């Protein structure tokens, strides 16, 4: 059983208008096997939370802490966090020309586990995961995210999550821009990784749509850089019916 | 990578030209065999504006020594190697010097190595010519490669050791011949190498021309490909890596002087360290007769550290509107922080991420040579160089 704790997290970014505080004291605790949905209107700081956990240099933590099994995550570099078991499925994955998917996956797996995977079992594992996500075999020869459609990029993120087997995964609007078929495929991938690895999931989303396919244990409503309300899956149903107006107007 | 311009006159993003956009008259450059017909080199001259003449280490002098034992090759069936006197009428028949250093090398090479690939010969293995220098005495070398009709061959010309060399290479690709020519420059530090390659393509012929430059203080290569018969194709590739203090200059020129020919020029380089400097001037001329021309040239540079400088200038001169396509792209960019973040977020260390991206960027060009041992050895050279920073 692992535990990811976010305590009183304050995060700022530099803008043209000066320093701007985006997260204003976030508290969240996620245990292995739990699925947490973080929902909120645009600009509420959901993606900032995701990037801050992963350690993107643009986001400055000014107060608070992030602990993984008691270890101080904020002192770790981006790659150390990944090796400690944190994973961020990105909303806008970047293209890496000249680096093939197969080379990238093998390099990442080697970095995470500390040794190169046995070739034959690794190739089989990659192929199975790609089949599950309905990705064509030629995919592995393409360059990372280069010329991928929106749906292909998201499936590629989930593919990495399944293969790298993190302890906690943050999914940053993985559902956005997907049609229903692609959404189901991606959701199945998340559910598989959750079941297989007792994965703790922080599912960041604007819409309730994906929650039909991934059942959250907890729902947190994010407004203006803070958690405004918390509850179980029933809270998502209420958001579906009422929207965010109630929080924004308050 | 994020594309930002570094002295890019024109062509920061990929685009095509319509007809009739003259930029520079490349074809009007004077040609001569004699060094005395060219003025002393001066940085105010457009041809030499990017480099310090002292880096030439005497290659622009009236008198040079000459390479002969430094050139090693193995006799193979289907190929003849002959040292001929440079007074022979075949010397200079493919191309003549267009600058003072090339002329100095021409004037001072009393003999020329003639490499002839027999008519219809198909060579299974690459032909190797190794030029191994062992002194810093400014020297001259002249080669002629003749690919006779219907022949097919790969030639790997590799330069190593310590050398100060002015080199002229004439390449005659006769009708229906196919040649894959690779020139590797992996000199020791302290070396200077200025080379002019003149390729002439006959009817329905094919040339893949690659330069791979990694070692040497100053390397300047001017490869010219001229179409003289219809239906031919040239692919000119270049890959280079400049460390602190190195100057690597490539000036490819494609002269479309025949109809229905295709050219693709792709050069990629990476730079690291203070005063690492690369220059790429890519010229394409589409003459009036060259209807049906299809051409595209591209240069991309990856700046890995502060203090490095990449100059990149594509020029396209079009004299007929009846073409299939003409385009170019040039971009020099920094190593992208978002790429780094993405790779690091998958557990990959900064050093490994950098290695992965740079190798991915450059090795693709090496792979185009199709010569396995060159790809392997030059990839390890790149890995070693990346480890240095």
Domain boundaries along the sequence of chain A: 3-249
Please give the Cα distance from B58 to A141 (Å, whole number): 48
- Closest partner residue to A54 (CB to CB) among B345, B356, B360 is B345
- Could you tell me if A242 lies within 8 Å of chain B, comparing CB atoms? no
Q: How many CB pairs lie under 8 A apart between chains A and B?
A: 78
Residue A3 CB coordination number (10 Å): 16
Residues with Cβ < 8 Å from B233, sequence gap 6 or more? B205, B206, B207, B261, B262, B263
What pLDDT is attached to residue B333? 85
| Contact check, Cβ <8 Å, B360/A96 | yes
Q: Do B357 and A77 touch (CB under 8 A)?
A: no
* Out of B341, B359, B362, closest to residue A78 by CB: B341
**Mean pLDDT, residues B321-330:** 95
pLDDT for residue B3: 39
| pLDDT on residue A117 | 95
Q: Which of residues 178-237 of A touch B (CB under 8 A)?
A: none
User: Which chain B positions have a beta carbon within 8 Å of A164's beta carbon?
Assistant: 346-347
Closest CA–CA distance from residue A77 to any residue of chain B (Å): 9
| Residue in chain B nearest A89 by alpha carbon | B345
Neighboring chain A residues of B365 at a CB cutoff of 8 Å: none
Please judge whether B346 and A103 are an interchain contact, meaning their C-beta atoms are less than 8 angstroms apart.
no
With a pLDDT cut of 90, the percent of chain B lying above it is 84
Average per-residue pLDDT for chain B: 92
Contacts A103 to B, Cβ<8 Å: 356, 360
Closest alpha carbon to A164 in B145, B348, B159: B348
| Span B81-100, pLDDT tens digits | 999 999 999 999 999 999 99
Residues in chain A within 8 Å Cβ distance of B348: 79, 82, 107-108, 111
Question: Given pLDDT bands bounded at 50, 70 and 90, which one contains residue A132?
Answer: very high
Task: Please check whether residue B113 is in contact with residue B86, taking contact to mean a CB–CB distance below 8 angstroms.
Answer: no
User: Mean pLDDT throughout A22-51?
Assistant: 95
Interchain CB distance below 8 Å, A56 and B341: yes
A100: chain B residues, CB-CB within 8 Å: 360
Q: Which chain A residues are within 8 Å of B360, Cβ to Cβ?
A: 96-100, 103, 143
What does CATH list as the number for A3-249?
3.40.50.300
If you count them, how many residues does chain A have?
Answer: 250
Q: Hey, what are A116's tokens?
A: 């190169």
What pLDDT, on the 0 to 100 scale, is given for residue B227? 98
Q: What is the mean pLDDT of residues B134-141?
A: 98
For residues A149-169, average pLDDT: 97
The closest CB to that of B352, out of A57, A90, A107, belongs to A107
Of B177 and B333, the one with more pLDDT: B177
- Ramachandran angles phi, psi of A157, nearest 5°: -65, -45
Least confident of A37-41, B120-124, B131-135, B350-354: B350-354
Searching chain A, which residue's CA lies closest to the CA of residue B365?
Answer: A98
- Kindly give the interhelix angle for A150-164 and A180-197, rounded to the nearest 10 degrees: 10
The whole-number average pLDDT for the span B3-24 is: 41
pLDDT value at residue A188: 96
Q: Which residue of A has its CA nearest to B355?
A: A99
Residues of chain B in contact with residue A57, where contact means CB-CB under 8 angstroms, are 337, 341
**Chain B residue with minimum CA distance to A52:** B345
The pLDDT of residue A128 is: 96
pLDDT value at B127 more than 90: yes
Whether chain B has a CB inside 8 Å of the CB on A96: the answer is yes
Q: What is the pLDDT of residue B389?
A: 58
Put simply, the answer to whether B348 touches A107 (Cβ < 8 Å) is yes
> Using the beta-carbon criterion (under 8 Å), do B349 and A111 form an inter-chain contact?
yes
Nearest CA in chain A to B358: A98
The mean pLDDT of A37-53, rounded to a whole number, is 94
Q: Do B344 and A94 touch (CB under 8 A)?
A: no
Q: Give the model's confidence band at A130: pLDDT under 50 very low, under 70 low, under 90 confident, else very high.
A: very high
Asked whether the beta carbons of residue A90 and residue B345 sit closer than 8 angstroms, the reply is yes
Q: Is the pLDDT of residue B4 over 60?
A: no
Q: Is A67 on the interface with B (CB under 8 A)?
A: no
What is the distance in angstroms between the Cα of A55 and the nearest Cα belonging to chain B? Answer: 8
- Segment A164-192 shows an average pLDDT of 95
pLDDT tens digit string along A62-110?
Answer: 999 999 999 999 999 999 999 999 999 999 999 988 789 999 999 999 9
Domain boundaries, chain B: 2-388
- Whether the predicted pLDDT of B13 surpasses 80: no
Percentage of residues in chain B having pLDDT higher than 70: 93
pLDDT at position B8, please?
37
CA distance B362 to chain A (A): 8
The distance of A238 to chain B (nearest Cα, Å) reads 34
- What are the phi and psi torsion angles at A225 (to 5°)? 80, 15
In the predicted structure, residue B17 carries a pLDDT above the cut 90: no
pLDDT band at A246 (very low <50, low <70, confident <90, very high): confident
In chain B, residues with a C-beta closer than 8 Å to the C-beta of A78 are 341, 344-345
pLDDT in tens, B346-357: 999 998 998 898
Closest CA to A103 of A134, A140, A73: A140
Distance, in angstroms, between A202 CA and closest chain B CA?
16
Among B343, B347, B356, select the one facing A83 at the smallest CB separation. Answer: B347
Residue of B243, B230, B232, B237 whose CA lies nearest to B270: B243
Residue B12: pLDDT over 60: no
What rounded mean pLDDT belongs to chain A?
94
Backbone angles phi, psi at A131, to 5 degrees: -60, -45
- Quote the ipTM score: 0.96
Per the CB < 8 Å rule, is B346 touching A160? Answer: yes
Chain B touched by A165 (CB under 8 Å): no
**A229, pLDDT greater than 60:** yes
A-chain residues near B362 (CB < 8 A): 98
pLDDT interval class at B14 (50, 70, 90): very low
Give the C-alpha separation, A76 to A68, whole Å.
Answer: 11
The pLDDT of residue B22 is above 80:
no
pLDDT at B7: 37
- The more confidently predicted of residues A176 and B169 is B169
Overall average pLDDT of the B56-70 stretch: 97
For the entire predicted model, the pTM comes to 0.80
- Identify the burial level of B145 via C-beta atoms within 10 angstroms of its C-beta, where 0-12 means exposed, 13-18 middle and 19 or more buried: buried
Q: For residues B283 and B252, is the Cβ–Cβ distance under 8 A? A: yes
Cβ neighbours, 10 Å, residue B274: 12
User: Which positions in chain A touch B301 (Cβ < 8 Å)?
Assistant: none
B363 CA: distance to closest CA in chain A (Å):
8
Q: Is the confidence at residue B345, as pLDDT, over 60?
A: yes
Nearest to B356 among A83, A90, A107 (CB): A107
Q: What is each CA distance from A79 to A58, A74, A82, in whole angstroms?
A: 16, 12, 5
Residue B305, classified by CB atoms within 10 Å of its CB into exposed (0-12), middle (13-18) or buried (19+), is: middle
Query: Would you say residue B275 has pLDDT above 80?
Result: yes
Contact status, residue B51 vs residue B103, Cβ threshold 8 Å? no
* Closest-CA residue of chain A to B338: A94
Distance CA B361, CA B255 (A): 28
pLDDT at position B10 over 80: no
Task: Kindly determine whether residue A82 and residue B347, on different chains, have CB atoms separated by under 8 Å.
Answer: yes
Burial degree of B256 (CB within 10 A; 0-12, 13-18, 19+):
buried
Contact by Cβ (8 Å): B362, B239: yes
Note the pLDDT of residue B387.
Answer: 81
Cα A172 to Cα B357: distance, rounded to the nearest angstrom: 25
* Alpha carbon of B379: minimum distance to chain A alpha carbons (Å): 14
Going by pLDDT thresholds of 50, 70 and 90, the confidence category of residue A152 is: very high
Neighbours of A71 (CB within 10 A): 11
Q: How high is the pLDDT of residue B169?
A: 98
| Residue-level pLDDT at A237 | 87
């Amino acid at each position: 059983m692992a535990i990811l704790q976010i305590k009183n997290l304050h995060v700022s970014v530099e803008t043209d208008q000066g320093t701007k505080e985006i997260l204003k004291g976030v508290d969240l605790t996620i245990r292995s096997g739990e699925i947490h949905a973080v929902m909120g209107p645009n600009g509420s700081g959901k993606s900032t939370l995701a990037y801050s956990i992963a350690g993107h240099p643009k986001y400055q933590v000014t107060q608070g802490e992030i602990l993984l099994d008691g270890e101080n995550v904020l002192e770790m570099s981006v790659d150390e966090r990944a090796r400690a078991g944190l994973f961020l499925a990105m909303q806008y994955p970047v293209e890496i020309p000249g680096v093939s998917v197969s080379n990238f996956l093998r390099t990442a797996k080697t970095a995470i586990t500390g040794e190169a995977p046995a070739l034959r079992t690794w190739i089989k594992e990659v192929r199975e995961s790609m089949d599950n996500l309905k990705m064509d075999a030629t995919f592995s020869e393409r360059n990372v995210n280069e010329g991928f459609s929106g749906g292909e990029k998201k499936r590629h993120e989930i593919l990495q999550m399944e293969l790298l087997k993190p302890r906690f995964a943050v999914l940053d609007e993985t559902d956005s821009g997907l049609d229903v078929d692609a959404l189901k495929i991606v959701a199945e991938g998340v559910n598989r990784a959750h079941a297989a690895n007792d994965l703790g999931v922080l599912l960041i989303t604007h819409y309730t749509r994906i929650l039909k396919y991934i059942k959250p244990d907890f729902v947190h409503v994010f407004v203006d850089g803070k958690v405004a309300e918390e509850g179980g899956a029933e809270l998502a149903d209420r958001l579906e019916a009422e929207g965010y107006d109630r929080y924004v107007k308050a | 990578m994020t594309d930002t311009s570094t002295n890019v006159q024109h062509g920061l993003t990929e685009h095509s030209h319509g007809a009739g956009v003259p930029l520079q008259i490349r074809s009007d450059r004077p040609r001569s065999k004699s060094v005395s017909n060219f003025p002393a080199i001066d940085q105010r001259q457009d041809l030499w504006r990017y480099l310090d003449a002292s880096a030439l280490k005497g290659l622009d002098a009236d008198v040079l020594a000459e390479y002969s034992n430094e050139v090693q090759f193995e006799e193979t069936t289907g190929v003849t190697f002959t040292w001929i006197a440079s007074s022979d009428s075949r010397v200079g028949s493919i191309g003549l010097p267009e600058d003072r250093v090339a002329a100095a090398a021409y004037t001072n090479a009393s003999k020329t190595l003639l490499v002839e690939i027999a008519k219809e010969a198909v060579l299974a293995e690459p032909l190797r010519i190794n030029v191994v220098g062992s002194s810093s005495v400014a020297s001259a070398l002249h080669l002629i490669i003749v690919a006779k009709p219907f022949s097919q061959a790969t030639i790997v010309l590799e330069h190593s050791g310590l050398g100060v060399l002015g080199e002229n290479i004439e390449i005659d690709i006769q009708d229906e011949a196919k040649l894959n020519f690779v020139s590797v420059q992996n000199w020791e530090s302290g070396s200077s190498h200025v080379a002019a390659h003149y390729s002439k393509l006959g009817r329905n012929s094919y040339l893949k021309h690659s330069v791979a430059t990694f070692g040497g203080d100053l390397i300047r290569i001017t490869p010219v490909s001229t179409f003289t018969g219809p239906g031919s194709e040239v692919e000119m590739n270049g890959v280079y890596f400049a460390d602190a203090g190195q100057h690597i200059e490539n000036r490819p020129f494609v002269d479309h002087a025949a109809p229905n020919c295709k050219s693709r020029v792709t050069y990629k380089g990476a730079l690291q360290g203070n005063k690492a400097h690369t220059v790429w001037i890519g010229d394409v001329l589409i003459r009036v007769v060259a209807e049906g021309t299809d051409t595209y040239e591209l240069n991309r540079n990856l700046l890995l550290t502060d203090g490095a400088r990449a100059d990149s200038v594509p020029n396209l001169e079009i004299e007929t509107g009846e073409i299939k396509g003409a385009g170019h792209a040039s971009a020099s960019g920094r190593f992208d922080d978002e790429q780094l973040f993405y790779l690091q977020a998958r557990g990959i260390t900064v050093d490994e991420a950098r290695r992965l991206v740079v190798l991915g960027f450059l090795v693709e060009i090496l792979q185009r040579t199709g010569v396995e041992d060159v790809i392997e050895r030059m990839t390890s050279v790149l890995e070693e160089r990346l480890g240095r920073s």
